[in-house]
Each structure stands twice: as structure tokens, then as C-alpha cells.
Structure 1
Amino acid sequence: MVIKMKKSLFLVVIIVIFMLAGCGSKNKRMEELALEVEKTAPAQGMYDAGSMEESGETGSMALKSEDALSNEVRNVSEGRKLIRNVDMSVETEQFDSLMKKIPEKVEELGGYTENLNTSGTMLSNENKRKQGSIIARIPADHLDSFVEEVEGFSNVYRKNEWVEDVTLQYVDAESRKRSLEIELERLLELMGQAQNIESVIAIETRLSEIRYELENYGSQLRVFDNLIEYSTVTINIEEVQRLTPKKEEGAFKRISQGFLTSIDNIGYGLKEGAIGFLIILPYLFIMGIFAGAVILIIVWGVRKARKKGWGVGLLKGKEKKRRGKEGE
């Protein structure tokens, strides 16, 4: 009976040690078991030489695991974990062609298009300039070559690139995950040695907590890996009639460029005016017919009145009335 009690208390002590070596979270039940060990062990002299040796071996194994973990963390920190992002605004005279070329190039480099949006292409708004945006995920190793390709396809008038260093967050999440995995292995070993229901319940409770935390850290690391391996490129595309000059030109060049732009604007205005006139021409035709009919009716009425002498009789009546007033 005494031997069984020794083994049970020894298992409880080992569980408490591994809980403290984990992520630092404490279970209320484990604290109660630890207090019981502190109260009973000194009074009854529970530990014999064999138990002390076994405990020393366990502590040595934990120290070795911590040393291995520290070495692993140092190795990970040697390679920086960088997230690269690029935001570009471009203009083009061939909007539809560019909206096809960019996704094709993304796929060619091993990336994928995360979002693609266009506007101004509806028939009812065909006079509106076309605009679009593309969010692409490009393998980090091919990011520079992809940006160069886009610059060759279009006229880039704004580009912003920034890098986010997540090395510390990555190493922290990875080290915590590894520490939990070690604790999980030890607890599974202890589960097979548990002698009473209280030890089993305590171990299962901690195992559930560890599995939940492992899932969270695993998800966080997967997100980091995706952002690191695939850079995010956002491209805003605008259709223009004439590309914006990339550099400052001389006075003559600027005058000629402005003159050509003015000619283009005049031509565009005349074209749009002619299109608008043709659009409203049926309405003008109907309104012209209606106005012409009203005018014809008025002219016909006036001519008819003149034929019947209504106008002359009316004038004679007014003249007689005026003379009568003068005679009085």
C-alpha cells in the first residue's frame, strides 16, 4: 500500500514539473496536488534512493530538451522572416490587353491572382474610362522580375514597396509550439503510467489545453509562411488616351505635347458631341413633327378666319362704337 502511494505521489510531482516547464499556465487541480505532496512527503519520508535517481534522470532529460530547443531557436533566427509588399498605380492605352497579360504572367511565375476587379466596361457606360485593380500573390523569389514585367507592360506613375520583419513573432510562435510538443510527449508517457483516476483526469485536462494551443500556434505559423513565401502585389490600372511622360521634357517638347493633347481633346469633344447629337436625334425629330403640326394648325385657323371676314367685321364694329362715343 505504501509503495503504491509513493508511485502515485511521484507521478503527481512529475506532472507539476512539466506543467511549470511548459507555457507557464497553471491548472487549479495541479496546484492542489502539489500542495498535498509538500504536506505528506516530509512527514512520511516517501522518497527512497531509487526514486531520487529517477527524478534526477527526468530533470536531466528536461534540461537537454531545453538546450536543444534553444539551439533550434538560434538557428531559425539566423534567417530573417520578411514579408514583402508592393503597391503600384499604372496607366495604359490598351486596357483589355493589360488585364489579360498580368494574370497570365502571375500564373507563369507560379503565383496566383487573389482578386481582380474592373469598372467602366458596361454598354450603358461605354464612354466612361476603364479602370481596374489586381491583387496578385507572387513567389518572393520572383517578385522583382514580376515588377519589371509590369513596368514593361504599362506606364507606372506610382510605386510603393515596403518590407515587414516578422522574425521575432515567428521565432516566438515556433518555440512555444515546440515546447508544447515536448510537454505533450511527456504527458502521453505519464498517461500510460497513471495509477489513479485523479492523475488521469489531471493529465487529460492539460492535454486538451496543449492541443488547443498547438492548433493556434500552428495556424499562426501557416499564415506567416504564406505571407513570407508569396509577396502581395496590388496594381491599380487606369485607361488613358495618352500616357503621362515619365520624365521632365524640354520647353519645345512640352509645347508640342500640350498642343497634341489639346488637339486630342478637341477631337474627343467633337466626337462625343456628334455621338450625343445622333443619340437625341429621334427625340428632336418627334418634337419637330409636333411643333410643325401646331404651327400648321395656327396658320390654317388664321387663314380660315380671314376668308370668312371675321377680322374685318370685328374691326368695323369697333369703329362704329368709337364714332358713337365721339358723337355723344
Structure 2
Amino acid sequence: MASRVRVLAVVALLLLAGCAGMGGSGDASEAQGGGDGAQMSSGGDGGSSQPVEADSGVDAGDSGTVRAGTAAADRAIIRNGRMVVEVTNYSTTADAIAARARASGGYVSDSNRQLHRDDDETWYTGYIVVRVPSEEYEPMQSMVSEQGTVRSEETTTKDVTDQLVDLEARLTNLRERRDRLRTFYQRANSTAELLRIEEELSSVQRDIERLQAQKRSLEQRVAYSTLRVEIHEPAPEPSAQQVPYHERSLVSAFLSSVTDVYVFTRGLLVTAASLAPWLVVLAVPVVGGRRLLRGRSLPLVSRRGGSESAPEGEDSGDGGDDAQQEPTDEPDTESRDDDA
């Protein structure tokens, strides 16, 4: 009896399940049919379906644009720019750029200026590097463009979002490891274990500080864009071509020759004036040396002359008589010739 009741209960449950399935399919078919009717009615009214689709498309486009703009705003972008500007006055332009950078919340990181000279003409060239907040980068470029003629302009960007995310993840892991090491340090029971954990803590702390410095550097470069402005004053135009020598006028040739003579004479005088001290310095030892040698040679000559004076005197005495006689003979000879 009990078994029959159980069989009947199972059969009843199966019948109820089948009826529920048929009812569900009927409801689904009715829902589907209702949907088709709605689509047909909207198709019949040609002016009502298209605006609805158009509105939905605009909404989808706007939402996509908003999401793209938000994603772009969330990116970490480093911008570096370079501009070459030709201006009439270097100092005025450099001061204006520096003042604008400070007014916008930035600063001047580097600058350089060089003076060029050609005969009597002078001009300056150089550069100034400013760092301004990222939102002030384009206004800064516009301001620089108004200072003179822009000869070249370029901007480079670098996306460092992934680097910042990686650094943050590594910092999170290192901080968690540092917390665990601190817990182990408090629970350590031996001195050796304390020393080992303390050494690991120091290493982890160094890594954390290093990554934090890298992250701050990237964030600083993202927050402040860099613009290098190279400033050039116009170089003087080359002088007119000189007139050939044979086509010059007589007056100009004479004046040029006079100028050359004056320059040559002045050069000689300047050279003589510059050499005079050296000549004096060199002449003193030369004159002193000659006098010293002459003073040493005179006593020797006098000694030799005194020792040989007596014999020579005797010979000279005889020779003197001969010399006296010889002149007496000469007049006689001459007189004889005259008589003849």
C-alpha cells in the first residue's frame, strides 16, 4: 500500500512538472510574440524608431568619450619641449620667460648666455630651461612664441604609468615583508636570530627608500614639464665687398698708406719700448765683463814691457844714431840731385 502511494506521488510530480514546462513555453512564446508585435509597430511608424536609435548612439558615444578622456587623464605623462627663438634683445626675452615661469608656479632650472663679437658688432646667444606645471606647458609655449620668430619647436612625451604602477606594487610587497619581519623580530628568542632579522630589515628598508625616491622623481617629472628655450639675437650682416686695389681712388690710397705708415711706426716704437728693459738688463753684464777682462790684461802688458825695456833701449839707442844719420844723408842726396 505504501509503495503504491509513493508511485502515485512520483507520477503526480512528473505530471505537474510537464504542465509547468508547457506553461513556461507558452509564456515565452507570448512574450516573443509581443516583442515581434512591438517591433512591427515601431517599424510601421518609420519616424519613431530612428530617433530613438540615434539618441542611444549619441549617448553611447558620449559615454565612450568620457571614459577615454578619464583614462587619458589618469595616465602619467612626462613632457619635454625645445624651442629655438630669434629675438631682438636677449636679456629682455630671458627675463620675461623666467618671470612667466615663476608666476605659473614653476622655476628656472638652468640657463646660459654667450657673447659673440665681430669687429665692432656684438650679439648674444644662449638658452634658458624652465620647469612649469603640466597644465601650464602649452600656455608657456604660446608665451615664448610671442617673444620673437620661432625657428624650430618640438615636444616629446613619455608614458610612465606602468612604471609607477610597478613601483607601487613593489613598495606594497616590501612594506608587507617589513611588517612581517618586525613581527618575527619581536618574537625572536636568540641573539643570532635577532641579528639576522635586523639585517634583513635594514636591506628591505633600503630597497623601500630607493623605490620611493624613484617614484618621487617620476611623479615630479610628471607634475612639472620641462621646456628648453634657445634664444638667438640676429648676427650682424657681413660688410660690403671691398673695392679692388686698382679701382681705389687716389685720396683713399694715400690716406690708407699714411695709416699703414703710422701703424708701422707705432708698432716699432711699441716694440722698442718693450725691448728697452731687456737690452739694459743684458747690457749690464756684458759691459761689466768687458771691463773686468780689460782690467786683468793691463798689468800683464805693463810687466812684459818693463822687463824688455833695457835691451830694447840699447838697441834703440844705436838705432837712434843711425836714424839721426840717415836723415842727414838724405838732404845731401837731394841737393846733389838738384845741382845736377
Q: Give me the TM-score of the superposition, normalised by structure 2.
A: 0.48
| Greater Rg over alpha carbons, structure | 2
